[in-house]
């Protein structure tokens, strides 16, 4: 058993050695150890003492969490039938353990006794502020975890958790499988207008399979350029239909997410009722900044009202241009990206494709690292670790020669890898109670842009660059923390509707000339982006921002209504249709099944929380405004002093204080919406 790589949790995961057959034996050991720790810690010999509880329970559960995290990560980025089977076989065991842990009355009693004892202690013996916050979070977690339920209600609550976990995993698999299963082999004629690098990549993909023509898929590096540039309207419609009906009843029956969506929403509603809440949205909001569903919906509707005039103008302009310049009297959903791109070219005289030639991956990474080093007083350099794919790289972050954190970068799209981009933790910062050493944090940063063809580097669209900066913001939140208590270090314990603040904050730098210059190096000439082209990009920055804002509000309001209205599981499409009638100015065709691949809310932790993106944008725009206000001719927005204050107040503090306290520590006041409206050209 000593040779099982999943049991080696002292250092970095042995990703190059982990095989599907290791999963079950490793979890046999780790679950038994965690169970034994739970039995011991809830017994009479262990006092209601923070350190005593942490030494036994946190050490065992952190080890289990790290091993299972490695399995889950591989399942997302290197999916195989064997690994998927091992993951799904063990998912119920993991869910059962954590559900039981979170609902254990004996453990809850120990934590309550620990909290109670705080009232009678002298000041010097009280828990530190971060530990008090972690304790408060834990007590709240017990209530939400069903610790106060009894008998049949408690059993049903546990069963619901297992069912939800299995169904969410199946939802995610259906989206991945539906995406991977689709291929359309296009002729060269059909690809008229499509950028040359995409034509080369799709031809290479077809040749690799011994096929003629060009292999088009539903992965973003293939799908999006076709939608933006292909003059062949029939091809755009074909791909649009395939993309927007993924994992629905309009495709393969075995990948239809319709029953899963109904079941997931119904299970959440039942969970809420067991906890004494009127709906799941109320339960979801307990640990968030927003107070109740009505406050969230009022916020979204207010923002929709502000954005609507801009969105209507965007849509009117698009329709008029489609008619006058593209010969399209009836603008359809599969025309929108194409006509938008043409309109942008006509109005601002540049193409995204032209910009892409300047954003070569090595230069983008060098510029990003330079920015982080300048603002946050750290150094980033290559490091060595076992990886799961040859294209994965590993880096370390240091300050004054001392290790602060490390991260894996997995940048490229490939089959067997979940679509989208995300940051995940490998391990958190923690002053370990077993060794008394400080464990440094490690993160995964995952993107899905296209790999370079031949000896050419990968070329990133400006959107790809923005996404990379976004995920790095999450990574910095996790890695730069200085909190030593694992429950509130980095992103742990941060309210979900504030967790997007550091990620969205980083996106702003992608629109600063001083920064962008250092991110660019033309793939053929080596020249940096011309100022004239950057000015056109900036002029186009808020192109269709009204439409994009309403689209985000549409998703957010659909999510909130779905989880706030009992019985909504039987009318999911109807709820979405009603939301679109209320807020959208561009309603998709009836066959569109966007919700069937809305993994954020059905498989990704954002249930009754998708509004967080807009909520946190208010925080991030206002935080960034501090850099704009302090900009000088010498530093531009890269002011190290403001960077230090931001780092200390928000990134280093992590979840050890409320997000509002962190924000006020940085800005000296509560957040205001003005900066967001100004940044999006809607002030």
Assign 399 to helix, strand or coil. strand
116 contact partners, CB below 8 Å, separation of at least 6: none
Q: What gap in Å lies between CA 459 and CA 450, rounded to an integer?
A: 7
Nearest to 610 by CA among 560, 562, 660: 560
Q: What gap in Å lies between CA 155 and CA 6, rounded to an integer?
A: 31
Q: Decide: 297 and 607 in contact? Cβ < 8 Å.
A: no
Token pair recorded at residue 442: 């490690």
**Long-range CB contacts (within 8 A, 24+) of 199-206:** 200/453, 201/450, 201/453, 204/453
What are the beta bridge partners of residue 398?
379, 403
Report CA-CA distances (Å) from 405 to 426, 427, 456, 652.
Answer: 11, 10, 31, 12
**Angle in degrees, 0-180, between the axes of helices 59-77 and 20-41, rounded to the nearest 10:** 150
Assign 654 to helix, strand or coil. coil
Q: What gap in Å lies between CA 475 and CA 77, rounded to an integer?
A: 18
**Angle in degrees, 0-180, between the axes of helices 545-564 and 293-326, rounded to the nearest 10:** 140
Residues recognised as catalytic: 471
The 10 Å Cβ neighbour count of residue 253 is 7
Q: Decide: 447 and 471 in contact? Cβ < 8 Å.
A: yes
List of E strands, 343-483: 379-382, 393-399, 402-412, 422-427, 430-431, 438-439, 442-449
CA-based diameter of the chain, in Å? 81
**Angle in degrees, 0-180, between the axes of helices 293-326 and 612-629, rounded to the nearest 10:** 80
Assign 30 to helix, strand or coil. helix
How are the residues of the chain apportioned to helix, strand and coil, as percentages rounded to the nearest 5?
A: 60, 5, 30
Nearest to 493 by CA among 140, 234, 168: 140
Q: Which helix (H) or strand (E) holds 218?
A: none
Q: What gap in Å lies between CA 401 and CA 389, rounded to an integer?
A: 29
Report CA-CA distances (Å) from 683 to 79, 180, 222, 329, 568.
Answer: 45, 42, 36, 32, 36
Nearest to 235 by CA among 194, 179, 181, 190: 190
Q: What gap in Å lies between CA 141 and CA 217, rounded to an integer?
A: 42
Report CA-CA distances (Å) from 570 to 36, 156, 472.
Answer: 43, 22, 39
Q: Decide: 681 and 541 in contact? Cβ < 8 Å.
A: yes
Nearest to 367 by CA among 517, 468, 541: 517
Q: What gap in Å lies between CA 24 and CA 376, rounded to an integer?
A: 42
Q: Strands 442-449 and 402-412, how do they pair?
A: parallel
Report CA-CA distances (Å) from 602 to 59, 416, 434.
Answer: 31, 20, 38
């Amino acid at each position: 058993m000593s040779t099982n790589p999943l049991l080696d949790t002292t250092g970095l995961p042995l990703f190059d050695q982990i095989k599907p057959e290791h999963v079950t034996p490793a979890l046999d050991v780790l679950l038994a150890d965690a169970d034994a720790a739970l039995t011991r810690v809830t017994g009479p010999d262990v006092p209601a003492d923070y350190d005593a509880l942490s030494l036994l329970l946190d050490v065992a559960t952190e080890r289990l969490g790290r091993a299972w995290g490695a399995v889950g990560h591989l399942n997302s980025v290197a999916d195989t039938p064997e690994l998927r089977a091992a993951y799904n076989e063990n998912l119920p065991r993991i869910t059962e353990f954590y559900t039981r842990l979170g609902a254990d009355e004996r453990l809850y009693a120990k934590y309550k006794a620990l909290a109670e004892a705080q009232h009678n202690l002298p000041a010097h013996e009280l828990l530190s502020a971060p530990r008090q916050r972690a304790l408060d979070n834990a007590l709240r977690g017990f209530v939400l975890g069903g610790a106060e339920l009894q008998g049949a209600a408690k059993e049903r609550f546990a069963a619901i958790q297992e069912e939800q976990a299995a169904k969410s995993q199946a939802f995610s698999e259906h989206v991945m499988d539906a995406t991977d299963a689709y291929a359309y082999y296009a002729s060269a004629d059909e690809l008229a207008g499509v950028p040359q690098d995409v034509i080369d990549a799709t031809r290479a993909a077809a040749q690799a399979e011994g096929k003629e023509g060009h292999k088009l898929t539903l992965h973003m590096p293939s799908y999006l350029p076709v939608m933006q540039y292909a003059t062949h309207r029939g091809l755009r419609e074909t791909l649009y239909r395939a993309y927007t009906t993924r994992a629905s009843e309009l495709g393969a029956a075995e990948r239809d997410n319709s029953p899963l969506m109904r079941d997931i929403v119904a299970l959440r509603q039942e969970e809420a009722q067991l906890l004494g809440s009127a709906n799941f949205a109320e339960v979801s909001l307990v640990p968030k900044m927003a107070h109740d569903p009505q406050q969230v919906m009022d916020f979204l509707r207010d923002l929709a009202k502000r954005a609507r005039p801009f969105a209507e103008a965007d849509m009117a302009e698009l329709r008029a241009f489609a008619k006058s310049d593209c010969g399209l009297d009836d603008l359809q959903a599969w025309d929108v990206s194409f006509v938008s791109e043409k309109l942008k070219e006509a109005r601002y005289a540049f193409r995204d494709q032209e910009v892409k030639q300047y954003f070569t991956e090595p230069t983008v990474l060098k510029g990003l690292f330079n920015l982080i080093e300048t603002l946050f007083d750290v150094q980033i350099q290559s490091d060595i670790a076992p990886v799961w794919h040859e294209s994965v790289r590993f880096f370390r972050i240091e300050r004054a020669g001392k290790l602060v954190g490390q991260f894996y970068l997995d940048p490229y799209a490939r089959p067997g890898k979940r679509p989208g981009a995300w940051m995940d933790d490998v391990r958190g910062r923690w002053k370990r109670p077993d060794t008394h050493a400080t464990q440094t944090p490690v993160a995964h940063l995952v993107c899905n842009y296209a790999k370079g063809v031949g000896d050419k580097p990968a070329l990133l669209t400006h959107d790809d660059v923005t996404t990379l900066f976004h995920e790095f913001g999450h990574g910095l939140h996790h890695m730069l923390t200085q909190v030593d208590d694992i429950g509130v270090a980095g992103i742990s314990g941060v309210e979900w509707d504030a967790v997007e603040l550091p990620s969205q904050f980083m996106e702003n730098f992608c629109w600063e000339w001083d920064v962008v210059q250092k991110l660019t190096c033309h793939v053929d000439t080596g020249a940096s982006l011309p100022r004239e082209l950057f000015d056109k990009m900036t002029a186009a920055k808020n192109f269709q921002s009204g439409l994009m804002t309403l689209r985000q509000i549409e998703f957010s309001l659909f999510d909130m209504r779905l989880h706030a209205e009992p019985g909504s599981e039987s009318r999911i499409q109807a709820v979405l249709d009603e939301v679109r009638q209320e807020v959208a100015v561009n309603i998709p065709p009836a066959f569109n099944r966007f919700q069937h691949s809305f993994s954020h809310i059905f498989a990704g932790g954002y249930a009754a929380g998708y509004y967080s993106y807009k909520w946190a944008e208010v925080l991030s725009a206002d935080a960034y405004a501090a850099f704009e206000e302090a900009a000088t001719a010498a530093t531009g927005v890269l002011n190290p002093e403001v960077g230090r204050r931001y780092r200390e107040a928000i990134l280093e503090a992590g979840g050890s204080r409320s997000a509002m306290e962190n924000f006020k520590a940085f800005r000296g006041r509560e957040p205001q919406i003005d900066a967001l409206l100004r940044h999006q050209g809607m002030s």
